[in-house]
Structure formats: C-alpha cells, structure tokens
C-alpha cells in the first residue's frame, strides 16, 4: 500500500456526499487535479471544522486507497480568504477562476505554476475584492493560457511575423494578425491589443483597465484560442 500523501491544495469544489461526507475536487502543485473524500466532515464535531469549503488553501494529508478518490485524514488551513467570502463579486470571480482551472487542467499532470497562479488570484481577491470583475477574470485566463503553452502571440503577426498593422486576431493562427493574413480572424482594436499585452506581461495586481468593448474582444480572443488549441469552452466571464 502506498503511504500517505502530504500536499498543499486549493479546494475547487466541495460536494455533499451521503449523510455526513464531502467529495472534494482539489488542485495541487505536484499532482494536478485530484479527487478526495472527507468522511464525517458535516458532523458538528468534525475535526475538519469548516475548512473543506471552496477556495480554502490547505495543508492536507491524503491516504491513497484502492478507489479513485483519496481520503482526507488531516487538513490545516494555510489561507481561508475571509474577505473574499464577504464580497459577492469576489466570490463569483474566484468561482470562475476555479472553473477555468478545472476545464483547462483536468489532469493529474503537475503544473505548479497553475497552482501558484490560482493562489495569487485568491490572495488578490481577498486583499482587494474590488479587483473582481471582467478585466481580472480575463487576465487570469490569459495567464492560464501561458501556463498551458499556448499564450497568444501579440508582438508580431502570428502568421507572417510582420510587426505593424496588427489589426486582427486569429485563434487558429495563435495571436494577432496583419491585414494580409486576416483570413479566419476578427478585428481587434488597439486598446484590446494593449490590454492583452498588459494582462499577459504584468502581475495580476497590475492588470490594466480597459473599456467594456475591448474586454469583450479580449474575451473572444481568449475563447477562440482555448477552443482551437485545447478543444475546451470556458464559462463566460462576468462583464460589468
Ligand atoms: Zn501577416
């Protein structure tokens, strides 16, 4: 029998199971996404307290049995993000971040950079709940694309390499395109291009602001890229 697995994890989802148990979807730095069961967690005197809820960052001890689910034997809180939980928009943005990780990285392959990005996002939403919203959600997604290995090319035409008149975006080409290579692209405003470059290159806490129209275009660019390269559809972001 393999021994216990000690790992950090973020709770992506927490589902009621049976009388008192919970099934957890966890994201870990070294094992990617894993499923676990916590027994008796919904009893009043459970040793787990309330910490097996979505968005908690935990130190866990997991026991590997014969089934697909690991069993949680110990859980200590690293961060509970209490301010995030008091803000509706921050909660919504955190849920969409967890959902995007689930859809793009539904694998046990390790992606420690994705784990760190998710922790950064939750910490930012906890420190500054007012950051929640469209610009932040899209910046998180574009950084997920980078971690997945298909960040859009933004500095030059993704088809021919020309560096000027980059007026379109093509998910199939993998980035911005010039008028000569615009087949299959949609028009991209300069402001959208600047937003995408800033969101990709700057820390999450410095995500540039942009007009709603630019953010709608940016969302389409991200969605086209994800659909073309990963065959995945993300939930719509919260436009506001
Ligand atoms: Zn071109």
Q: How confident is the model over 16-35, as pLDDT tens digits? A: 999 899 999 999 999 999 99
pTM: 0.95
Answer yes or no: is pLDDT of 45 > 60: yes
> What pLDDT score does 1 carry?
56
Average pLDDT over residues 60-83: 93
Q: What is the pLDDT of residue 240?
A: 59
Ligand 1 centre distance from Cα of residue 182 (Å)? 7
Q: Which residues of 85-122 are buried (b: 16+ CB within 10 A; e: fewer)?
A: bebebbbbbbbbbbebbeebbeeeeebeebbebbbebb
Q: How far apart are the CA of 115 and the centre of ligand 1, in A?
A: 35
Distance (angstroms) between ligand 1 centre and the Cα of 183 equals 10
Q: How far is CA 173 from CA 3, 179, 220, 228, in A?
A: 46, 13, 14, 9
Cα of 216 from ligand 1 centre, angstroms: 23
**How far is the centre of ligand 1, averaged over its atoms, from the C-alpha of 149 (Å)?**
22
Lowest pLDDT segment from 51-55, 67-71, 124-128, 133-137: 67-71
Tell me the per-residue pLDDT of 108-138, one tens digit each, with 9 for 90 and over.
999 999 999 999 999 999 999 999 999 999 9
**What's the whole-number mean pLDDT along residues 173-183?**
96
Residue 3 has pLDDT above 90, yes or no: no
pLDDT classification of 41: cutoffs 50, 70, 90: confident
Q: Is the CB of residue 100 less than 8 Å from the CB of residue 18?
A: no
pLDDT at 236: 92
Minimal CA–CA distance to 195: which of 174, 170, 218? 218
Residue labelled with tokens 């760190």: 116
- Residue 150 CA, ligand 1 centroid: distance in Å: 19
């Amino acid at each position: 029998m393999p021994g216990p697995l000690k790992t950090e994890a973020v709770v992506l989802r927490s589902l009621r199971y049976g009388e008192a148990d919970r099934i957890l979807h966890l994201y870990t730095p070294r094992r990617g996404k894993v499923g676990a069961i916590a027994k008796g967690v919904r009893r009043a005197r459970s040793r787990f307290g309330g910490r097996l809820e979505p968005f908690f960052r935990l130190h866990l001890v997991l026991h590997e049995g014969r089934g697909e689910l690991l069993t949680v034997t110990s859980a200590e809180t690293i961060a509970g993000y209490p301010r995030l939980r008091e803000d509706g928009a921050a909660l919504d943005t955190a849920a969409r971040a967890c959902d995007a990780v689930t859809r793009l990285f539904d694998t046990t392959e390790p992606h420690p950079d994705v784990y760190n990005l998710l922790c950064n996002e939750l910490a930012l939403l906890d420190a500054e709940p007012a950051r929640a919203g469209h610009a932040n959600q899209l910046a998180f997604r574009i950084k997920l694309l980078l971690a997945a290995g298909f960040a859009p090319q933004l500095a030059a035409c993704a088809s021919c390499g020309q560096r000027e008149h980059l007026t379109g975006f093509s998910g199939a080409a993998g980035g911005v395109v010039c008028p000569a290579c615009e087949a299959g692209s949609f028009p991209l405003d300069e402001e959208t291009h600047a937003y995408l470059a800033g969101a990709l290159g700057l820390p999450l806490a410095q995500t540039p602001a942009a007009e709603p129209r630019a953010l709608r275009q940016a969302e389409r660019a991200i969605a086209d890229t994800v659909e073309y390269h990963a065959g995945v559809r993300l939930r719509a972001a919260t436009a506001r």
